[in-house]
Amino acid sequence: MAKITFIGAGSLGFTRGLVRDMLTFPLLENATISLMDIDTERLEFAQKSVRRIVDMGNYPAQVEATMDRAEALKGADAVLCTILAGGTDVWRHDIEIPKKYGVDINIGDTRGPAGIFRALRTIPVMLDIVKDMERYCPDATLLNYTNPMAMLCRAMQRKSFIRLTGLCHSVQGTAEMLADWIDAPMSEITYTCAGINHQAWYLKYERNGKDAYPQIREAISKPEIYNEEIVRNEMFLHLDYYVTESSGHNSEYNAWFRKRPELIEQYCTHGTGWNPGVYAYILNEYQQKENSWKDEAKTWFAAETPISLERGHEYAAYIINALQGGEIFGFNGNVPNTGLITNLPENACVEVPVYVDKAGLHPVHVGALPPQCVALNHVCVMTEEMAVEAALTGDPRLVFHAIIHDPLTAAVLSLAEIKQMVNEMLQQNREYLPQFKHFSV
C-alpha cells in the first residue's frame, strides 16, 4: 500500500484532479492519501473533497489530513508539493516595486526580479521540507509543482539527497497546442523538448516521423493563430524553434517585448490567448481565486457528480504508478544537468525528457542546444545560479548581481537604478528572509 503525501493540499483543484487520476491505477487504488496544509479551512475542504472522490469510485483508499508536516511525511512513498510562501500582501511588492522603476511584469513567479525574490522567500521553506523528508521518508520521491521551479529544485538538489524532480504543464500543453494548430491528433506527434523550465525548446517536433515545423510555420501565417500567441510566435519566427510556456511568461524572460510601452502595445495586448499585456496579471488572478474559492468549493460539493472519474493527463499520477512498479512513463522533468545538455552549466537545473520506472528517474542525454536558443537559456541559468547561491548564503550582493543580468531588467534600467530597486525590495522583504543579515547591496 503506497502512501502519497500532499504538502499544500489546500490547492483544491489540483489536489482533486490528481487524486482522481491516481486512484484509476490498480497499484494506487488502495493508497493512503495524506493531506497537509497550514490553512485549517482549506485542509478541511480538501479532505472532504478527496473523501468524496474515494466514495464515488468505491476505492479502498484511506484519506488522512493533518497540519503536522512530519506526521504527513512519515513513511511516504511520494510527496507532492504545491505551496505558496506568503499571500498577495507579501509578494505584490515583487511586482509593484519594479513597476515604479519601469520594469513591467505580467506574471513574475518564475524569474526576473519578482521570481528571484519569490525564490529567496520560498527556498528556506522547501529546504525544511526536504530535511523533514530525509528524516521521515528518505526513500520517497518529491514531485515539485511550486514556482519558481528551477531555482527551488536547484536549491533542494544542492542541499539534499532526496530524489526529486520538478513538474510543469508547459511542455505537454504546448505540444498539444501545436498539434491543434496543424489539425493533428497527438497520436501522430512525437517530439524532443529540452532547455530550462518555461524556456525549453522543441528540438524536434514531428508528425508521423516527419518534421512538422513547416506546417507550424504555415499555420502561424494565419492571423487567428498568430494572434493566439504573438510573443511566442515571434520568437519562433526569429529563433526557428518553438518555446514552451505562455506568451505572458515568455514576454518577461527576454529583452524584446516589454522594455517600452509601445512594444507591450504591439506584441502583448492584442493576443487572443492568455493576455501578456495585462500588468500584474498574477496578482489579479490570485486575488480573484482567494475571494471565490469557498463559493467554488460549495458549488462543487452541491453537484450530484462534481467530477468525472476518468483518468486525466497529469504527469504525477503516471510517475507515481511507475515508481510503484507499474508501466514505465516518459515525461519532461526538471533535474540536475549531469552532462544532459552539453552547452549549459554542469548541475544547473534543466528541463529534459525523463523516463521513470520502479528503479527511479532516468533523465535522457540531449546534447547541445542550438546556439541562438542556448544563449538565452544561459543568461537565465546564470541569474538563477546566483539567486540560489544568494538564498543559501544570505548574500544581498548576489541578489543584485542576479538581477542586473536579468534580460528585461537590464534592457530598462541602469546599474545604479537596479541597485536602488534591489535595496528597496530587500528592505520590503526583511522579515521573510531569515537567512540574510544585511538588507542592502
Catalytic residues, which ones? Answer: 169
Annotated ligand binding at 198? The verdict is yes
54 closest CA partner among 43, 46, 62, 42: 62
Q: Which amino acid is at 415?
A: L
* Distance from the Cα of residue 316 to its chain's centroid: 13
Residue 386 in grid coordinates: 546566483
Residue 165 in grid coordinates: 524532480
Q: What 3-state class would DSSP assign to 14?
A: helix
Identify whether the C-beta of residue 272 lies closer than 8 Å to the C-beta of residue 181. Answer: no
Identify whether the C-beta of residue 384 lies closer than 8 Å to the C-beta of residue 351. Answer: no
Residue 247 in grid coordinates: 506568451
Residue 222 in grid coordinates: 494565419
286 closest CA partner among 108, 37, 427, 430: 108
CA-to-CA separations, 74 to 10, 112, 126, 137, 313, in angstroms, rounded? 20, 36, 17, 6, 28
Contacts of 268 (CB under 8 A, 6+ apart): 106, 230, 231, 247, 251, 257, 258, 275, 276, 277
Distance CA 241, CA 211 (A): 12
Distance CA 369, CA 351 (A): 12
Q: Which amino acid is at 342?
A: T
* Distance from the Cα of residue 189 to its chain's centroid: 24
Distance CA 125, CA 122 (A): 5
CA-to-CA separations, 54 to 31, 50, 157, 184, in angstroms, rounded? 11, 6, 34, 36
163-166 vs 189-196, strand pairing mode? unpaired
**Annotated binding residues for substrate, as ranges?**
147
**Annotated binding residues for Mn(2+), as ranges?**
168, 198
